[in-house]
Homo-oligomer: A and B are copies of this chain.
C-alpha cells in the first residue's frame, strides 16, 4: 500500500510536469495527506484534518488541490445524496462501489465482478458504450442495526 501511495504521488508529479505546474509545500502537504488517508473526504473534512497538522493552509488551496487530483485521476468525486461532494483516492484502491449507511454515515466499499458483467450486458443490449458507472446501496449498516431501535 506504500507502493500504491508512491504511484499516486508519482502520477501527481507527472501531471505537474505535463502541465507546467510548479511545486508548493502547502499543496504537496494536502496531496500527500489526502493520498495517505484512505477516506471519503469532504473538502471541509480534509481542510480540518490538514489544518490540525499544519496550520496556514486555506480552503482555496484544498479546493484547488482536489481539483488537480481529480483531473489527473488520483481522486474520484461522489455525492452520496448529500449536498457536498466527497473525494477519495482511487489510484490505490481501484474501482469499487459503495454501501452508505444513512444512520451513521459509514461508507463500505465493495467490488462485484458479476454485477459489472451484467452492467456490460445491459449496455450491449442498448448499444451503449459505458465509460464509467456508479452503484450505491443506501440503507443501514450492521452496527447501526444492533442497538434497540427507539421511536
Q: A-side interface residues toward B, CB under 8 Å?
A: 79, 99, 101-102, 108, 110, 112, 114-115, 118-119, 122-123, 125-142, 145
Contact = CB atoms under 8 A, between A and B. Distances in A.
B128 A140 contact: yes
Contact of A123 (B99, B114, B129): B99
Given A123-B137, A137-B123, A145 B118 contact: no
Nearest to A120: B137
Given A130-B138, A131-B139, 8 more contacts: A99-B128, A99-B130, A110-B125, A115-B122, A127-B145, A128-B142, A129-B145, A134-B138
Nearest to A141: B128
Given A134-B135, A134-B136, A135-B134, A142 B126 contact: yes
Given A118-B114, A135-B135, A142 B127 contact: yes
A108 B126 CA distance: 9
A138 B131 contact: yes
A76 to B, nearest CB: 12
Contacts of A131: 102, 138-140
